[in-house]
Amino acid sequence: MIYLDHNASTPVRPEVRDAIASCLGDLHANPSSLHREGQRARAALERARDQVAALVAARSDEVVFVSGGTEGDHQALIGAAWALEARGRRVAISRLEHHAVHGAAEVLERGGFAISHLAATHEGFVDPAEVDSLPEDTTVISLMLANNETGVIQPVAGVAERAARRGIRVHTDAVQAAGKIPIDLEALGADYTVISAHKLGGPKGVGALIVRGGAPLESLLRGSGHERGRRGGTENLPGIVGFGVAAELAARDLMAEGTRLLALRERLEAGLTAAASDVVIHGTRAPRLPNTVNASFPGARADHLLMALDARGVAVSAGAACASGAVEPSPVLTAMGIACDLAICALRFSLGHTTTVDEIDLVIPRIADAVRVARSAAGARA
Amino acid sequence: MSRLLAAMSGGVDSGVAAALMAEAGHDVTGVTLKLWCYGKSPQSPRACCTLDAIDDARSVARRMGFPHYVVEAEEVFRARVLLPFLDDYAAGRTPYPCALCNQHLKFGDLISRLALTGADALVTGHYARIERRADSTHALLRAVDGAKDQSYALALIPYDTLSRVRFPLGALRKDEVREHGRRLSLSLWDKPESMDLCFVPDGDYAGFITKSLGETRGSEPGAIEDAEGRRLGTHRGILHYTVGQRRGLGVTAGEPLYVLAINAPRNTVTVGPKAALDAPGLVTGPANWLMPAPPAPGARAQVKVRYQHAPAAARLYPSEDGTVEVRFDSPQPAITPGQLCVMYDGERVLGGATIGSALGDERDAVARAVADSARA
């Protein structure tokens, strides 16, 4: 199986697996316990915190471990909106956000907050000037750092600069960006940044919210003082230790891996264009992650393509799935103004640390074949 | 070993059918067609095609270790099944959408997707059999279990699909199918049977058509008349009535009255005595033949005019235009336009077609029956 779905989850690195196994075998104490065994566990926890902080150029005490991207986004957006409630009861999110951010906004809406939306351009990013027209009572803006479907990198620094002028805080979901492009939170200017371990070679079920410079935040999970009172609950130590190792490896390999993946991405895109001359690759005129290609094959439905590729040993992802698991036009492509009949034909190819040149060369004829059968399936139905 | 695509509704039958093929060593891929936008409302446990049903199909695939996908078929379902269903009710007919769903979704849309996975054949949980004959032609046969036989609902599937379809349950009884489900530890083995249309789980068609679909046609009250056109009462809208119906007419007479006919342009429902329901034959719409060529005029057949109808002996007279005139050996009651007429030769399904009308001048037949009952 050729796995081109690294944006969904990427294989755990062997070093991470070893670190988790040794943590499970050796560090059984509660990191909050006061005895020496507890202190050993706490040391492992704090070492992981340093490793994660280093990946995004943050201070260790700014890192709050959470259960993953969804919790991080909820904690950031809701926690900030609550903390800033005296100034206004409105948050703004971009139309490109992950479901997790839309979900957090829904929770706020349930509590009487107003939600504004930042529109996207046809090229798949938000124009920072959108910030200037937000209503007065806006307290937090949420804009992801890189889009999970198209890979388009968002102008978070530009948005943060305009937001700062108006005293608005900025949350960025950096789940897809972390480990793929350099992140310097000082330069970026985001107040709340969320990353997730399993997108960068760590295990599932652990992530981090980085709260920069003491930005205001109310805790959602309370009752105990873990994570400096910002997230109650005994820490997922094996997961966090694995996250730390994965973050360190990602930081070490970032430049070399970025260059390697970019060459593979360009090889894949050239191959797709050769295989299907009418292919439409989305977001090509914007800066993108080096590993992500989102392409529509007109006349070939994504659900057909996904099945056909799976049967031919290629794992990819289609834009969006509804509650039933059926493929639907992606809201991200729709927000970019991509027509429905093109959006329903979009596949996401996402490369990662296990992807090789040989795999890319093998995958091209299989895609060409899948497009051919998917088009004939659609034709038979007409 | 074959590569197979298994249509899985989430019910026991299609789940066991797919599981049996996987157990036999075939390379199975499961597919559930998404026919409907489910929203978030809880559904009746009887209904198939719900989110829970999709989970049930998935759990069979997990249990047996084969892949499963949900594929979007809403557009085809709407255009080929749902809209004709509404048009039929609005025109005073009583449709049989399961036949259209089989024709256009499972044996149309899904068959066209075989190439996606490189599959040779489609597997479904229908109770029917396919026989490959010595001359390489194929025949659709009734199921061994007569009580479960679903050949009636399959009569509109294209003949050329028979060579690419497998019915693993055709030789099994329902209790054997459940036993296989239990033996294979499929969680759905004891699920209740679905009795109604999958998209109208509570059986309230009229309510579904008007409330859920917002249909306005067929809801206008009008006259209930006798065969001579005398007004006997008021109906609630023609979509509430079907030929042969006795209950809920709200009209009293010396003898029980039945719906004889529904006239949509005049918005009337004609009622009369039971004897007036009998017709000597019927004329169909264009027929689908499950054989290489239509039968010769005058061919003997046994004909079913609704799902629960004991087949009646008849002769078939196919026309150039594709329709068939069916003449029964003895008159049959309640020939219902919109229902399916399925023609058998013993075990074999010869073909099927939608019923257009009862044979003969309807008013003559009614008048004759009225005269008969007056004499009696």
Identify all chain A residues contacting B34, using CB atoms and an 8 Å cutoff: 322, 324, 326
Kindly state whether residue B143 falls inside one of the protein's structural domains.
yes
A236 and A356 fall within a common domain: no
Dump pLDDT digits (tens) for B79-98: 999 999 999 999 999 999 99
Task: Tell me, letter by letter, the H, E, C secondary structure of A254-275.
Answer: HHHHHHHHHHHHHHHHHHHHHH
pLDDT of residue B251: 82
Best residue in A297, A301, A303, A317 for a mutation probing chain B (most B CBs within 10 Å): A303
On whether both B237 and B292 belong to a single domain, the answer is: no
- Considering only CB atoms, A381 lies closest to which of B51, B112, B116, namely B112
Phi-psi region of B185 (alpha: psi -120 to 50; beta: other; left: phi over 0): left
Distance CA B299, CA B291 (A): 14
Q: What range does the domain containing A40 cover? A: 14-249
Q: Are residues B161 and B235 in the same domain?
A: no
Q: Do A374 and B38 touch (CB under 8 A)?
A: no
In this structure, what CATH number is given to the domain that contains residue B294?
2.40.30.10
Residue B38 has what pLDDT? 57
Distance CA B205, CA B210 (A): 9
Distance from CA of B113 to the nearest CA of A (A): 5
What is the Cα–Cα distance from A275 to B96, expressed in whole angstroms? Answer: 45
Interface probe with A: pick from B72, B103, B120, B160, most Cβ of A within 10 Å = B72
Q: How many domains does one find in chain B? A: 3
Report CB contact under 8 Å: A304, B29.
Answer: no
Q: Which two tokens stand for residue B307?
A: 């799902």
Strand partners, B33: B71
Mean pLDDT of B68-73: 90
Percent of chain A surpassing pLDDT 90 = 95
Quick one: B262 and B286 in the same domain? Answer: no
Q: B116–A327: do the CB atoms touch at under 8 Å?
A: no
The residue segments making up the domain with residue B252 are 219-272
Provide the CATH number for the domain around residue A207: 3.40.640.10
Please report which residue ranges of chain A form alpha helices under DSSP H. Answer: 14-26, 36-55, 69-83, 99-110, 156-165, 185-188, 226-229, 237-275, 302-311, 331-335, 340-343, 357-381
Q: Do A307 and B76 touch (CB under 8 A)?
A: no
Residues of B labelled catalytic: 101, 198
Question: SS3 for A305?
Answer: helix
The CA-based angle B117-B118-B124, given to 5 degrees, is: 70
Chain A interface, Cβ < 8 Å to B: 301, 303-304, 306-308, 310-312, 322-328, 370, 373-374, 376-377, 380-381
Are A134 and A236 members of one domain? yes
Statement to judge: residues B170 and B318 lie in one domain = no
DSSP E strands: which ranges in A74-148? 90-94, 114-118, 138-142
- Note the pLDDT of residue A377: 80
Q: Whole-angstrom Cα distance, residue A173 to residue A126? A: 14
Look at residue A197 and tell me whether its pLDDT is greater than 80.
Answer: yes
Question: B85 with B130, same domain?
Answer: yes
- The structure's pTM equals 0.87
Are residues B143 and B27 part of one domain?
yes
Q: Is the predicted pLDDT of residue B253 greater than 80, yes or no?
A: no
- Would B210 be classed as within a structural domain? no
Q: How many CB atoms lie within 10 A of CB A219?
A: 19
pLDDT at B42: 42
Are B115 and A325 in contact (CB < 8 Å)?
no
- Those residues whose C-beta lies under 8 Å from the C-beta of residue A112, and which sit 6 or more positions away, are A89
Q: What is the pLDDT of residues A310-343, one digit of tens each?
A: 999 999 999 766 667 778 889 999 999 999 999 9
Q: What is the dihedral of CA A188, A193, A198, A204, to 10 degrees?
A: 180
CA distance linking residue B107 with residue B5, whole number of Å: 12
Cβ within 8 Å, pair A326-B71: yes
pLDDT in the model for residue B46: 40
Report which residue type is found at A296: S
Neighbours of A336 (CB within 10 A): 24
pLDDT > 60? residue A181: yes
Q: Are B240 and B284 within one domain?
A: no
Average pLDDT, chain A: 96
Q: Cβ contacts of residue A251 below 8 Å, gap of 6+?
A: A51, A54, A55, A179
CA–CA gap between residue A354 and residue A357 (Å, rounded): 10
Name the residue in chain B with its Cα closest to that of A344. B72
Judge if B171 and B225 occupy the same domain: no
pLDDT for the residue B372: 53
What is the dihedral angle through the alpha carbons of B237, B243, B247, B251, rounded to the nearest 10 degrees? 70
B208 touching chain A per CB within 8 A? no
**DSSP per position, A24-65:** HHH--S-TT--SHHHHHHHHHHHHHHHHHHHHTT--GGGEEE
A84 Cα to chain B: minimum distance (Å): 33
